[in-house]
Chains A and B, each alone.
Chain A
Amino acid sequence: MTPAEEAHPGPVMTAHRAGLVGCRSCGRVWPEAETSCGRCGGALVPPDRRCLNAVWAWLAAGFIFYIPANLFPMLKTSTFGGLRGSSESTILGGVVELMHYGNYGIAAIIFVASVMVPVGKFVAIAWLALVAGRPATVRAAHKRLHLYEVVEFIGRWSMIDVFVVAILSALVQLGFVASIHPGPAAVSFALSVAFTMLSAQSFDPRLIWRGLPLRSRKDPE
């Protein structure tokens, strides 16, 4: 239970219920009649479930790109100008290979960063979008908010894989002996992460509070 809830045991007053609309850029609330934020100039859009369309759209795009990101090779390693052979490894293939060589720590990092986090984001955003605006208890609403914040926070770190690929590609350019090039999966993965972040940003967290009960006594424990 948050301190705010403890301070206001009664029905939670939301901006919408107060006839106000919050600015998504700077957080200032304005009367619903206002169409632009007087402080930061951002457009004032009242929360609407239909804006979830964008969330779903971005999420779908991100997910679509996540598929080739896993199927296509992430790294193309060629040694001796390709004479010795070049290896292409996908994300999961690399994880399996690392585990095969006993590097469980790195395998876990890559697995978490490249598989669990994006998949978790997809699931989280999808769930948030699904339940947004639906009736919820205050506690559930807070959970959703936490989840949203986590997704927002983690989103930028999802690019770690892309960074690794970019750094390796830049560093390991030993010409004939060995060279590493990013594979098509790297672009897909970056796009997937970017779209997921856009999706998370498109999500209007104000919708979390739209389905709150009017009376706090009806709140379940």
Chain B
Amino acid sequence: MTDTPPPQRSDAPLKPAEPVRKPAARAVRAGLPLIWLVPIAALVVTLGVGWNMIASRGTLISVAFKDATGITPGETALKFREITVGKVESVRFTEDLQQVEVNMRVDKDLAPYIDKDAQFWIVRPQVSAQGISRLDTVLTGSFVEGYWDDKVDGPQTEFQGLDKPPLTSFGEQGTWIVLSAERSRGMTEGAPVLFRGLPVGRMQNLRLSENDEGVLTDVFIAAPYDQLLTTNTVFWDTSGFSISLGAQGLSLNVNSLASVLQGGAEFATLTSGGAPVEDGHVFSLQPDRAAAEANLFADEGRVLRLTMLIGQSVQGLETGANVQFMGLTVGRVTGLAARVVKDADGRDHVEQEVTLAITPERLGLSGEATPEEALDFIAGQVRAGLRARIASAGFFGTSLQVELAELPDAEPAELDRDGQPHPIIPSVPGEISDFSETAQGFLARVGNLPIEEALKSATDMMNSVTAIASSEDTRAIPAALRGTLEDAQAAAGEIRQVTTELRESGAMGELRRMVDEAAAAAEAVKLAAADVPAMVDRIDAAATKIEAVDYASIGTEAEGILRDVRALLGTEDAEQLPKNLSETLKSASGLLNDLRDGNAAGSLNNALASASTAAQDVSDAAKRLPQLSARLEALAARADAVIAAYGDRSNFNNETINLMREMRRAANAFGSLARTIERNPQAFILGR
């Protein structure tokens, strides 16, 4: 480039008007420093922004997880108290491929707080016995949650992530305690810890204790519930449901469904005076509340321990059994052991050594009473007759307890304060043999019950009843009884008829008339002495006629009937016949006697022919007696048959006897009626 104008410019048509030029650098020289401020400013701004961005990019931390479920590099957020404070930048494996390293960029202002206490876990939807949580992560995807305290304590960039969210963030106020149990029954991760049924904490970090002797779990009791904890607090397992058959009888404990499914523990502070609990205090998890209460006695510092020695079997006495004093539980049996002691003769024998843990407060002593004071109290009581003995408890007396009984007439004894391992309280034998045998005896008694026989008898009885009920005889009973009654009625009616006939026939009057007539005849005989031979002939004839009447046979027949009747009445079976029947028969026999008397009167065979008519009447009447007898016999036989049919069946026999009694009563009525009428006929008309 050249600044000099061409030399032939002067004649050129396009020659500029003015050759003189100002220096062109004027404006540029002025603008040079100014214009270069722009890129400098741009550089400054860019560098500033860039540096600012890099500086505010945050700290890269790396957390190792077992897996990276739901983590997307560049998207998954790191949250602290539900505020996004960082983002996952990359995910890679650890060198041994055992874990996943999640690199996260954390906000710069929070990075200092992420120190060694920081915890990280992946939040995913969770379904547990307590319900479903973090459903929002279904929509938004999982995220990494972190928690750290507010103390800046050496920031750290490498962390080990938790497999599952911690149940309590350690920012919460509260107390960490440790529960220990022999077995993990009722202990699961996240199981609730209840106080009066209210969840106040959760179990976590379930682990084996050192030496594998038990199971430990951490429990965080959040404030303000941690104020409820004292060193006297007892914990017991509330998982599932329990049915216990103990000294208090049958008890069923069912807690919430969550507890059934997940387990859980409950605690209570049953006695006051415990010291506040500090973090890490280890409580023992008891299997149930009763055991927890028992443990309370064993745990208490001021508990008074006594030893009692028993020479008997203590089968049924268990650790934890009650120690009763005047019906109150004052302590527990905490130890059972055997020890060899020398008796008075110097021989070794084994005695049971029962350790009792007694709470002095329960004895009525003040809470401040020292063990020595309690011991003094007990020593005084022992002098007054306090003895320890085994007593039964529970349903069948199969479990035992220790009773502190006041036996004023017991042999004098003293509390052995120097006894080892604990002061020895004198004991008296309990009725332990009974106790140990009670259950056996009970079972033996149950076993000895003649259940087989009883069943067999019952079966037989049922069979008999069925057979009786279905037998023809049984069905015939009502008819037979009715027949018997009817027969008895008929018999009574006939007897009455006979009586009536006899009365109607006026046998007595007839006889009297016969006597009168005979007297008249005799008078006539006396008067008509002339006609004696003829008369004699006629009387002879008459006498012959009368003799021909064969009174003897009639009498014999009547006697036979009477005998028969007597025999009938005399038989055992006849005793069950109505008494009035026999009375009726007696009446009949009386009648017959009358007849016989009549017969005697008839011996005046010299009487008139009319006598024969009367005798004929009597004979006619008497002739009916065999029929009556036969009917009575038939009746007796039938009754006999009926009775015989059931004679060997006591029940029916009884029934029959009852029936017969009824019949007898009825017949009695008949008889008395008959007698009344007989004695006092006008009573019939006058109604007495």
Enumerate chain A interface residues (CB-CB to B < 8 A).
Answer: 13, 17-20, 31-33, 43, 45-51, 53-54, 57-58, 60-62, 64-65, 67-68, 71-72, 80, 82-87, 133-135, 184, 188, 191, 195, 210-211, 214
1/0 per residue, CB under 8 A from A, across B12-47: the answer is: 001111111110110111011001101101110010
The answer to whether A18 and B38 have CB atoms under 8 Å apart is: no
- With beta carbons under 8 angstroms apart, the residue of A31, A48, A85 that contacts B17 is A31
Since A32-B20, A57-B35, A82-B84 are in contact, a sample of 10 more A-B pairs with Cβ atoms closer than 8 Å, ordered by chain A residue number, is: A17-B6, A32-B22, A46-B24, A50-B28, A57-B36, A58-B39, A60-B42, A61-B42, A64-B46, A83-B136
A-B contact pairs, 12 of them (CB 8 A): A19-B15, A19-B21, A32-B21, A49-B1, A53-B32, A61-B38, A64-B39, A65-B46, A82-B77, A83-B143, A191-B42, A195-B42
Q: Which of B68-76, B483-491, B658-666 makes up part of the contact surface?
A: B68-76
**A53 adjacent to B28 (CB under 8 Å):** yes
> Contacts of A134 on B, CB cut-off 8 Å?
1
Q: How far is the CA of A20 from the CA of B46 in the complex (A)?
A: 42
In the docked arrangement, what's the CA distance between A61 and B46, Å? 10
The residue from A31, A47, A49, A53 contacting B35, defined by CB atoms under 8 A apart: A53
- Chain B residues within 8 Å of A32, by CB: 16, 18, 20-22
Q: Is the CB of B17 within 8 A of A33?
A: yes
Q: A25 CA to B181 CA in the complex, in Å?
A: 95
Please, what's the 1-or-0 string for B50-81, where 1 marks a CB less than 8 Å from any CB in chain A?
10010000000000000000001011110000
With A33-B18, A53-B31, A87-B75 in contact, is A64–B42 under 8 Å at CB?
A: yes
Q: Is the CB of A48 within 8 A of B25?
A: yes
Residues of A within 8 A of B27 (CB): 43, 45, 51
Decide: B31 and A68 in contact? CB cutoff 8 A. no
The chain B residue sitting closest to A83, CB to CB, is B140
Given that A33-B18, A85-B75 are known contacts, is A61 also in contact with B28, CB under 8 Å in the complex? Answer: no
* Minimal beta-carbon separation of B72 from chain A (angstroms): 7
Complex formed: what's the CA distance from A51 to B87 in Å?
Answer: 49
Contact of B39 with A80 in the complex, beta carbons under 8 Å: no
Q: Is the beta-carbon distance between B38 and A33 smaller than 8 angstroms?
A: no
Minimum CB–CB distance from B381 to chain A (whole Å) comes to 74
Count the A-B residue pairs with Cβ separation under 8 angstroms: how many? 118
Point out the residue from A18, A53, A210 that lies within 8 Å of B16, measured CB to CB. A18
Known: A68-B49, A83-B77, A135-B1. A31 touches B39 (CB 8 A): no
Q: Are B49 and A184 in contact (CB under 8 A)?
A: yes
Complex alpha-carbon distance, A135 and B53, angstroms:
46
**B5 sits at the interface (CB 8 A):** yes
Known: A51-B28, A53-B35, A53-B36. A19 touches B16 (CB 8 A): yes
Contacts of A214 in B (CB 8 A): 6
Beyond A31-B16, A84-B141, A135-B1, whether A58 also contacts B38 by CB under 8 A is yes
Q: Is B39 within 8 A of A60, CB to CB?
A: yes
Question: A57: shortest Cβ distance to chain B, in Å?
Answer: 4
Name the distance in Å between A125's Cβ and chain B's nearest Cβ. Answer: 13
Which 3 A-B pairs give the minimum distances between C-beta atoms?
A19-B16, A85-B75, A60-B39
Q: Which of B21, B24, B53, B141 contacts A85 (CB 8 A)?
A: B141
Q: Does B139 contact A (CB under 8 A)?
A: yes
Bound-state Cα–Cα, A78 to B77, Å = 12
Minimal Cβ-Cβ distance residue in B for A47: B24
Report Cα–Cα, A6/B491, bound state, in Å: 180
Contacts of B5 in A (CB 8 A): 17, 19
**Contact mask for chain B residues 306-343; partner A; CB cutoff 8 A; 1 contact, 0 none:** 00000000000000000000000000000000000000
Assembly CA distance A211 to B3 (angstroms): 11
Instruction: Say how far A28's CB is from chain B's closest CB, in angstroms.
Output: 15
Quick one: which of A33, A51, A85 contacts B74, CB cutoff 8 A?
A: A85
Which residues of the partner chain B approach A50 to less than 8 Å between Cβ atoms?
24-25, 28-29, 32
Chain B neighbourhood of A210, CB < 8 A: 1
- Alpha-carbon distance A160/B43, docked complex (angstroms): 24
A85–B16 CB distance below 8 A: no
Most B C-beta atoms less than 10 A away, residue of A65, A83, A188: A83
Whole-angstrom CA separation of A19 from B76 in the bound complex: 70
Residues on A with beta carbons closer than 8 Å to the beta carbon of B139: 80, 83-84
Question: Does A72 contact B53, Cβ atoms closer than 8 Å?
Answer: yes
Query: Which residue from chain A places its CB closest to the CB of B2 in the assembled complex?
Result: A214
In the complex, the chain A residue whose C-beta lies closest to that of B42 is A61
Residues from chain B with Cβ under 8 Å of A33 in the complex = 17-18, 20, 22
Nearest CB to that of A135 among chain B residues? B1
Report how far A48 CA is from B370 CA in the complex, Å: 112
CB distance from B14 to the nearest CB of A (A): 5
What residues on B are CB-neighbors of A48 within 8 Å? 24-25, 28
The residue in chain B whose Cβ has the minimal distance to the Cβ of A48 is: B24
| Alpha-carbon distance A8/B222, docked complex (angstroms) | 99
Provide the bound-state CA to CA distance between A53 and B39, in Å. 11
A85's nearest neighbour on chain B, judged by CB, is B75
User: Restricting to B270-284, which residues have a CB under 8 Å from any CB of A?
Assistant: none
- Residues of A with C-beta under 8 A to B141: 83-85
Closest to A11 in B: B6
Smallest beta-carbon distance A209→chain B, Å: 11
CB-CB nearest in chain A for B17: A31
Say yes or no: A64 contacts B14, CB within 8 Å: no
Closest CB in chain B relative to A93 CB, distance in Å: 11
**Known interface pairs A57-B35, A65-B42, A83-B77. Does A46 touch B49 (Cβ–Cβ under 8 Å)?**
no
A30 → B minimal CB distance (Å) = 9
- Residues from chain A with Cβ under 8 Å of B49 in the complex: 68, 72, 184, 188
Residues of A within 8 A of B50 (CB): 68, 71
